[in-house]
Amino acid sequence: MIKASNLVLGEAHSKKLAKISLSDSTIKTRIDELAKNIEDTSPFFAIQCDETTDVAQLSQLLVYVRFVGSSSIEEEMLFCKPLETTTKAEDVFNLVATYFDNHCLSWEKLVGICTDGAPAMMGSRSGFIVRMKQKSPGAVGTHCVIHTEALATRTLPNTMKETLTIVIA
């Protein structure tokens, strides 16, 4: 990673990055500080969840948080944890709920939940969002705009796809 930063950012910035500690205790401290910051300073927060499969074919749950910071809306990675059993709604919910409970994040302050369109996430009876709303009834569940656009572009004519590709790039 340092070699890549040297190529992209230059040697001076690469040396600064090399000084950043990435030990377990440093990462844990950063996560604890982030959770405390959300709890103490932000009146509300929203999360975005996405499940992905890594190179070792292990399912990982990535959860990002967006909250009101000292002078602007901030977005940080809240956590990335393996889904050790299945990727069903119950397993995803249990992982997020355990994190919330362990880091004293208030369910009452959760106002938004954004996910991809997978049935396990968006299912109307037993999906992840439904389970989250049982804990935080005021939270609004949304389908990620990027995932929605990706689905929409599958049916576009080639000329429109080309135009969209040019606009996005």
The predicted-structure confidence for 47-68, as pLDDT tens digits, reads as follows 888 887 777 788 888 889 888 8
In this structure, which long-range contacts are made by residues 132-137, counting pairs with CB atoms below 8 Å and at least 24 apart in sequence? 132/93, 132/96, 135/97, 135/107, 135/110, 136/107, 136/108, 136/110, 136/111
Contact 91, 85 (CB under 8 A): yes
Please give the pLDDT value at position 97. 93
Instruction: Give per-residue pLDDT as tens, 121-157.
Output: 656 567 788 888 889 888 888 766 555 566 566 677 7
Give the DSSP letter of residue 126: T
pLDDT the model gives residue 115: 83
User: What is 22-168's CATH number, 3.40.50, 3.30.420, 1.10.260, 3.80.10?
Assistant: 3.30.420
In single-letter form, the type of residue at position 40 comes to D
Question: Does the pTM exceed 0.85?
Answer: no
- Return the domain boundaries, the chain: 22-168
- Indicate if the pLDDT at residue 162 is higher than 80: no
Q: What is the pLDDT at residue 17?
A: 63
- What is the tens place of the pLDDT at every residue in 91-127? 888 999 999 999 888 899 989 888 876 666 656 567 7
